[in-house]
Amino acid sequence: MTTLVKIYATREEWLTAAVEEFRAVFAAQAMPIPTKVRVTCGFPSTARRSGAIGECWADTASADKSMEIMVSPVLDDPYRVADVLVHELCHTTAGAMNHGVAFRKVADAMHLVPSATKGYKATTGGDAFKQAFGALIDGLGEYPHAQLSMTTRKTQATRMLKAVCPTCGYTFRLTAKWASKGLPTCHLDGDTFALTTTGE
């Protein structure tokens, strides 16, 4: 494996430089990248639920009409980062914000390989991608980032307690602070609410 020299100090510098390098490639396919594109290393909005590793927001969502791209910090291999970036850059081209015909055309031109299970929603850069763009990616030098694991982050336990009327089952939630001040009576039958220890 080639040892890459560190050229850029930050991930965003590397990603921005990559966008500029790929502009000419997209233009050669008559599928230009818009002028205003921002790119950052960050978790896509649906990452926890869907496992997404890249995301592109349309310029209509941006106050200054920029396309906004995020590449997940779970990635640290420059080739994988580059193919995810290229996938998202495909979305910036005309008519390709979804994974329809326009997207597929440009993704094919950029040597992205659709997933066997998710199709064009989850592409990778295969051998043809590496052959076509390996020198370009190597020329960007080391990707200045270390993989960030989502699995080691502890989920904060809820601070809300559950209070239940023992007669009718009416339920509400409250914080420990308010529970310590005393529980109210049920407006339906007058019984005092009780805290439950179940994990519901």
Closest CA to 39 of 151, 147, 152, 143: 143
What does residue 11 show for φ and ψ, rounded to 5 degrees?
-60, -40
Task: Compute the residue count for the chain.
Answer: 200
Q: Which domain holds residue 75?
A: 11-139
Together in a domain, 102 and 44: yes
Rg (CA), the chain: 25
Q: Using 50, 70 and 90 to split pLDDT, how confident is the model at 200?
A: very low
Element (H, E) at 160: strand 160-164
Report pLDDT digits (tens) over 37-68. 999 999 998 888 788 999 999 999 999 999 99
Report pLDDT digits (tens) over 85-139. 999 999 999 999 999 999 999 999 999 999 999 999 999 999 999 999 999 999 9
Together in a domain, 118 and 169: no
DSSP 60: G
Report yes or no: 28 and 58 within 8 Å, Cβ to Cβ: no
Together in a domain, 104 and 55: yes
Residue 6, domain member (yes or no): no
Closest CA to 94 of 119, 63, 123, 59: 59
The number of CA neighbours under 13 Å toward the Cβ of 68 is 13
Q: How many domains does the chain have?
A: 2
Q: What angle do CA 42, 48, 51 make, to 5 degrees?
A: 80
Together in a domain, 42 and 120: yes
Together in a domain, 48 and 93: yes
Together in a domain, 29 and 111: yes
Closest CA to 67 of 43, 46, 96: 96
Residue 56: CATH number of its domain: 3.30.2010.10
